[in-house]
Amino acid sequence: MSFKQSKLETFFGKTTRSREDSEEPTQPSLSEAPLTSILTNTPSTSSSSVISLPFHHQEDPIKFIDRTLSENERKQILEHKWEPDNKFEYPVNDKGRRYNLKWEEKRPWLRYSPSNDSVFCACCIAFPVAVSETHPEFVTIGFRDWKNATGDKRGALEKHSKSERHQLSQEKSEMFLMTVKGKSIPVTESISKAYQEKVQRNRACLMSIIDVVIRLGHRNIAFRGNWLKDEGKEDGNFQYFIDWKANFDDVLKLHLSTAQHKYLSPKVQNEFIHLCELEIRDAIRDRCGESEFFSVMVDETTDVAEKAQLSICVRYVSKERDRYEVNEDFLGFVEVERTDAETLCDAVLHNLGQEWGFDLTKLRGQGYDGCATMTGAISGVQKRIQDVWPEAKYFVHCNSHRLNLVIVNTCNKVVEAS
Ligand SMILES: [Zn+2]
Of 342 and 320, the one with more pLDDT: 342
pLDDT at 27 over 60: no
Distance between Cα 177 and ligand 1 center (Å): 16
pLDDT at 10 over 60: no
pLDDT tens track for 207-244: 999 999 999 999 999 988 777 778 777 778 998 999 99
pLDDT band at 284 (very low <50, low <70, confident <90, very high): very high
Average pLDDT, the chain: 80
Question: What does the alpha-carbon distance between residue 191 and residue 103 come to, in Å, rounded to a whole number?
Answer: 30
Distance between Cα 119 and ligand 1 center (Å): 11
Q: Which residues pair with 199 in a beta bridge?
A: none
Range of lowest pLDDT (72-81, 124-133, 181-190): 181-190
Distance between Cα 108 and ligand 1 center (Å): 10
Distance between Cα 327 and ligand 1 center (Å): 61
Distance between Cα 128 and ligand 1 center (Å): 8
Question: What does the alpha-carbon distance between residue 98 and residue 189 come to, in Å, rounded to a whole number?
Answer: 42
- In this prediction, residue 347 carries a pLDDT of 94
Range of lowest pLDDT (87-96, 146-155, 224-233): 224-233
Range of lowest pLDDT (123-127, 194-198, 404-408): 194-198
Q: Which of 210, 368, 325 is nearest to 277 (CA)?
A: 210
Q: Which residues contact 66 (CB under 8 A, 6 or more apart)?
A: 140
Distance between Cα 278 and ligand 1 center (Å): 45
Distance between Cα 167 and ligand 1 center (Å): 7
For residue 71, what are the CA distances in angstroms to 44, 63, 77, 98, 173?
33, 15, 10, 33, 11
Distance between Cα 308 and ligand 1 center (Å): 62
Helix (H, G, I), strand (E, B) or coil at 192: coil
Q: Exposed, middle or buried: residue 266 (CB in 10 Å: 0-12, 13-18, 19+)?
A: middle
Of 260 and 25, the one with more pLDDT: 260
Distance between Cα 180 and ligand 1 center (Å): 20
- In this prediction, residue 136 carries a pLDDT of 81
Q: How many whole angstroms from its chain centre is CA 286?
A: 30
Range of lowest pLDDT (24-28, 265-269, 343-347, 413-417): 24-28
- In this prediction, residue 45 carries a pLDDT of 36
For residue 403, what are the CA distances in angstroms to 150, 184, 300, 369, 410?
81, 74, 18, 11, 10
Q: How many residues does the chain have?
A: 418
Phi–psi pair at 302, nearest 5 degrees: -120, 130
pLDDT band at 403 (very low <50, low <70, confident <90, very high): very high
Distance between Cα 351 and ligand 1 center (Å): 56
For residue 305, what are the CA distances in angstroms to 301, 302, 308, 309, 310?
11, 8, 9, 11, 14
- In this prediction, residue 294 carries a pLDDT of 96
- In this prediction, residue 53 carries a pLDDT of 45
pLDDT band at 19 (very low <50, low <70, confident <90, very high): very low
Distance between Cα 75 and ligand 1 center (Å): 15
- In this prediction, residue 189 carries a pLDDT of 55
Distance between Cα 50 and ligand 1 center (Å): 20
Q: Evaluate whether 242 touches 252 at the Cβ level (below 8 Å).
A: yes
Q: Is the dihedral of CA 258, 276, 343, 308 positive or negative?
A: negative
Distance between Cα 175 and ligand 1 center (Å): 15
Other C-beta atoms closer than 10 Å to the C-beta of 365 total: 18
Q: Evaluate whether 65 touches 120 at the Cβ level (below 8 Å).
A: yes
pLDDT at 391 over 80: yes
Distance between Cα 7 and ligand 1 center (Å): 27
pLDDT tens track for 39-81: 333 333 333 344 444 455 778 898 888 888 888 889 899 988 8
Distance between Cα 81 and ligand 1 center (Å): 15
Distance between Cα 43 and ligand 1 center (Å): 25
pLDDT at 5 over 80: no
Q: Evaluate whether 173 touches 126 at the Cβ level (below 8 Å).
A: yes
- Element (H or E) spanning 367, and its range? strand 363-368
- In this prediction, residue 191 carries a pLDDT of 56
